[in-house]
Chains A and B, each alone.
Chain A
Amino acid sequence: MDAKDILGLPKNSVTQEKKSRPQKDSQRKPDGISREVYALTGGLAPLIPAIEASQLKKRPPSDEKITWQWLPFTNSARKDNLHLYHWVRIVNGVPPTGDYSFAKYNKMWTKEETDQLFELCQSFDLRFIVIADRFPSSRTVEELKDRYYSVARAMLIARAPSPGDISGHPLVKEPYNVSQETERKRALSMVLSQTKQQERKDAEVLAEAKRITESRMVARGAEESELPVPSNAGPESAERAAAIPADTVSPSSNVQQHPSAAVAPSTITVDNASILASLRMLRVYLRTYALDQMVQAASSSAGLRTIKRVEQTLQELGVNLKPRVPTKAVCAEHLELRREILTLLNLQKQLQYKEAEGSSYRDGSYADTPGTPKHLSHGGDQDRTFVPDMSFAGERMGKRDQKRKAPGRLSEAPLPAHKRPRKSKAADL
């Protein structure tokens, strides 16, 4: 408006008229169809009308006389000459010609179709995916392949001077098997589209199978008092494993004292997958029971101290040690959290050891390595200021070099290596 003022243009120009016109039009847009039906389309006509509005009102052309007759018909797709009757739409007394309309859906191959197929095969070099795409009537890749290979095979056999000549030909030796191919492709696509859950389940079963075969090997080895050969858990063992998981527990427990050190640890450390497998053997269980089992399995490789630290961390994070609402999702999250805390604690330990190494250098003869230790202590400070909430981490860094008076929460903070050699226990990881 102001612009017009500035330019000195007349105020009531064309644009205003345009604005009022579309307003009125939309109110009486529908023409040929009722307003409600029009509203279903969104109240706005498509740019290119699919169906002319005028078409909807009057369909049958006035010059054609339509009658319906009850006539017999045959189906070229049938082999038994069955004669049936149906109503046929007659236009001006002329009945329609052509085969039964549904016959074209029959899977028979006509010479015409076969010729088309061979032409396409020639031009596309037997690339069946492309051929299937360009084939006029819809046929699956497997059908096309089947037709091509069976025709080619028949021709080969017919043209051969003697059957022995071509018996070595791959077309003759291994004819194309449609059902097998379809099945194979279906199985492949199933494997491809397997959900993570199914993958996990398969992994569980295989892990369980491995565990069972290994424990069986141990048992057998102990009986014959010779070193067990590492088992190759093949796919067949998976089926056996599914059948007998329960009785493997007893042989492995009897065998603990035998010196098969290489194999024993694998039976002792319980796999998460095998826990899941054993849970499924039960007819019924409580969700909390399942969670407890899995928590135990996850902490089986950790010492009691570490487990306590995990629980401390959980408390600091404001998480219940045992979930208050143990649904499937909550239990899964809880388990993952525990695992992540374990990872965190391991990393902290690694960091401490590294620092211990660094500080042992510092306290030794190497006075001129300012870079590393400075960085370490700086890192410690950084840690404290950045994460005030995670007090367990910060305090640990701070107390690193202090003399320990009483065993506190951080009683297990390791001192630099040269001050006191730390006994490392296999269990205390």
Chain B
Amino acid sequence: MSLTTSSRKQGENQPDDGASPAKPPRIKIGKSSEDSDKKGAHRRVKDVEICVPIVYGTIAFYLGRKASESQSHKWTVYVRGATNEDLGVVIKRVVFQLHPSFNNPTRVLESPPFELSECGWGEFEIGISLFFHNDICDKQLDLFHHLKLYPEDESGPQTTKKPVVVESYNEIVYPDPSENFLARVQNHPAVIVPRMPAGFNLPYPVSIESVNEREKGDTKDHPLSQWFMNFSEADELLKLAAARQQVQAHIVKLRRQLSVMDGPPPLSKQPTGYDYT
């Protein structure tokens, strides 16, 4: 199956829809919804932190017999949801910045799955810029990933069967989301939303334009999914807890030593009640 990429020259990149007229909400309940929509775009929800866990990285295959000097590997760089859910709910666009030796080194992906495949021979740092939907924020988030083509274990010839996979886990945090954003993503599987304070009312969720255009954006059945790494916080938490215990035990011991060194309490000849003289 071929992986499609959409690339554009940077100049062609349309400016963001900052000045465009208000998009008609897909679900409309009377006129009041539009007013609350506008207000909801500005009203922010304090103490509610939206978190989107992502994994980004590269998978590189040695081309074997089909390899040439300038194209020895075929690799894919991508950003996916940590649980392979559709990131299109928060990410509007991803821009991959490749090595200048590539044609059109600035590759723009306007829809999920946010990935890009290329052929090459060299390892370099890929810049990954995430752009979010208008109701989320204007700021972009930049990531960097080093493309690895050659395996750690240099023994033996390269195999075309097993790729070199490097993935990094991270979480995008929106510390104080707008009401509209929160309403829209509240129940989406790609997004972690904490429990809302009691009695909290959100405006009716307004879906964004691109929803109907998009086909499947999740990576659950992605052809490369067999190579995806598993990121479980359980192991790390366990290790951290064990480490903390060790350190805490040591601290207690040291404190005890220090207090003993400060001198035992002075011997007192005061009657303690057991003195019968």
Q: Which residues of A contact B (CB under 8 A)?
A: 198, 201, 279-280, 282-288, 290, 313-314, 317-320, 323-330, 333-334, 336-337, 340-341, 343-344, 347-348, 350-351, 354-355, 358, 372, 375-376, 379, 383, 386-387, 389-390, 393
Residues of B within 8 A of A286 (CB): 141, 143, 170-173
Do A336 and B244 touch (CB < 8 A)?
Answer: yes
**Contact A283 B139, CB 8 Å, known A330-B240, A333-B240, A347-B251:** yes
Given contacts A287-B173, A387-B250, 6 further A-B contacts (CB under 8 A): A320-B236, A326-B171, A328-B51, A354-B261, A375-B261, A379-B261
**Contact A337 B244, CB 8 Å, known A286-B141, A325-B231, A326-B169:** yes
Residues of A within 8 A of B141 (CB): 284-286
Would you give the shortest CB distance from A205 to chain B, in whole angstroms?
A: 11
Q: Which B residues, 4 to 38, have Cβ-Cβ distances below 8 Å to chain A?
A: none
Q: Closest chain A residue to B243 by CB distance?
A: A317
**Contact A344 B170, CB 8 Å, known A329-B233, A330-B236:** no
Q: Which residues of B contact A (CB under 8 A)?
A: 47, 51, 53, 132, 136-139, 141, 143, 169-176, 231-233, 235-237, 239-241, 243-244, 246-248, 250-251, 253-255, 257-258, 260-261
Complex: A323 Cα to B236 Cα, angstroms: 8
Give the top 5 A-B pairs by smallest Cβ distance, nearest first: A283-B137, A287-B171, A333-B240, A317-B243, A347-B254
Do A354 and B175 touch (CB < 8 A)?
Answer: no
Residues of A within 8 A of B257 (CB): 351, 379, 383
Do B53 and A284 touch (CB < 8 A)?
Answer: no
Q: Closest chain A residue to B169 by CB distance?
A: A325
Do B251 and A330 touch (CB < 8 A)?
Answer: no
Complex: A350 Cα to B173 Cα, angstroms: 40
Complex: A287 Cα to B233 Cα, angstroms: 14
Q: Which of A333, A350, A376 contacts B241 (CB 8 A)?
A: A333
Most chain-B Cβ atoms within 10 A of its Cβ — which of A319, A376, A393?
A319
Residues of B within 8 A of A290 (CB): 173
Do B247 and A328 touch (CB < 8 A)?
Answer: no
Do B174 and A284 touch (CB < 8 A)?
Answer: yes
Residues of B within 8 A of A379 (CB): 257, 261
Complex: A379 Cα to B236 Cα, angstroms: 34
Do A319 and B239 touch (CB < 8 A)?
Answer: yes
Residues of A within 8 A of B176 (CB): 280, 283
**Contact A351 B254, CB 8 Å, known A282-B175, A286-B141, A287-B173:** yes
19 contacts between A and B (CB under 8 A): A279-B175, A283-B139, A284-B173, A285-B175, A286-B170, A314-B243, A319-B243, A325-B231, A327-B53, A333-B244, A337-B240, A337-B243, A337-B247, A344-B251, A347-B254, A347-B258, A351-B254, A351-B261, A383-B257
Complex: A343 Cα to B132 Cα, angstroms: 41
Residues of B within 8 A of A336 (CB): 244
Do B247 and A201 touch (CB < 8 A)?
Answer: no
Do A325 and B247 touch (CB < 8 A)?
Answer: no
